[in-house]
Amino acid sequence: MPAANAALQERPAVQEPISPGAKQLKTWEQAVRLFAERRFAEACGHFREAAAGPDKQVADKARSYLQVCERRSSRPDLQLHTAEDHFNYGVERMNARDMEAARLHLGRALGIEPEGDHILFTLALCCGLAGDGHGACENLKRAISIEPRNRILARQDPEFSALAAQFPALRTLLGSEGA
């Protein structure tokens, strides 16, 4: 009998085949990990594979994520040359709450047009929304010094009002007439 036991131990373990549903779920999980790491091009293939699986809910979600991945991985190269190009793209990024890209492009616009009060005004808002109260204050101060009407515009802007509640220096700047 010991020889029979030895023969059983030498045989490789037989693996159970993975069900199509389990394979789909595993592929979905890999795709979500890649998506979270912002590796959209790699995630596309996994989402595409998960979308072809048997579980309809997972397939529907995979198709939705696939669309997002395809959009994000196939962005055309932007050709931004003028201050206005960078300003407009910065505003678009700020509205999408991508503050890092917004600040970068608003800064580039300001580099091209250093006296652009509308750029400074928007950069001040962007800084504030990103949690940089000092940057918000300094940029708004410059915008007001170039065009005093910017103080009134900021007072009337609901986003600046919310930021003024957060940042005392900004509240002071908006409250004083002769800063």
Q: Judge if 154 and 108 occupy the same domain.
A: yes
Question: How far is the C-alpha of 64 from the C-alpha of 29, rounded, in Å?
Answer: 15
Per the structure, the complete domain to which residue 48 belongs is given by 18-73
Q: Mean of the pLDDT values across residues 130-151?
A: 95
Q: What single-letter DSSP state applies at residue 98?
A: -
pLDDT tens digits for range 77-109: 678 899 999 999 999 999 888 899 999 999 999
Residue 118 counted as domain residue: yes
Domain count, the chain: 2
Residue 2 counted as domain residue: no
**Length of the chain counted residue by residue:** 179
Do residues 136 and 162 lie in contact, with contact meaning Cβ atoms separated by under 8 Å?
no
Question: How far is the C-alpha of 51 from the C-alpha of 33, rounded, in Å?
Answer: 16
Q: Give residues with Cβ within 8 angstroms of 52, minimum separation 6.
A: 59
Question: How far is the C-alpha of 147 from the C-alpha of 4, rounded, in Å?
Answer: 94
Q: State in Å, rounded, how far the first CA of the chain is from the last one.
A: 97
pLDDT tens digits for range 12-32: 555 667 888 889 999 999 999
SS percent in the chain: helix, strand, coil, step 5: 75, 0, 25
Task: CATH number of the domain at 144, please.
Answer: 1.25.40.10
Residue 5 counted as domain residue: no
Q: Judge if 63 and 99 occupy the same domain.
A: no
b/e burial code for range 51-70 (CB count within 10 A of at least 16 → b): bebebeebbebbeebbeebe
Q: Give residues with Cβ within 8 angstroms of 24, minimum separation 6.
A: 49, 50, 53, 54, 55, 58, 59
Dihedral sign of CA atoms 72, 123, 106, 149 in order:
positive
Residue 44 counted as domain residue: yes
pTM, rounded to two decimals = 0.58
Question: How far is the C-alpha of 98 from the C-alpha of 1, rounded, in Å?
Answer: 70
Q: Judge if 90 and 151 occupy the same domain.
A: yes
Q: Judge if 90 and 166 occupy the same domain.
A: yes
Closest CA to 128 of 157, 149, 108, 152: 157
The per-residue pLDDT of the chain, averaged, comes to 87
Q: Judge if 90 and 67 occupy the same domain.
A: no
pLDDT of residue 100: 92
Q: Judge if 56 and 88 occupy the same domain.
A: no
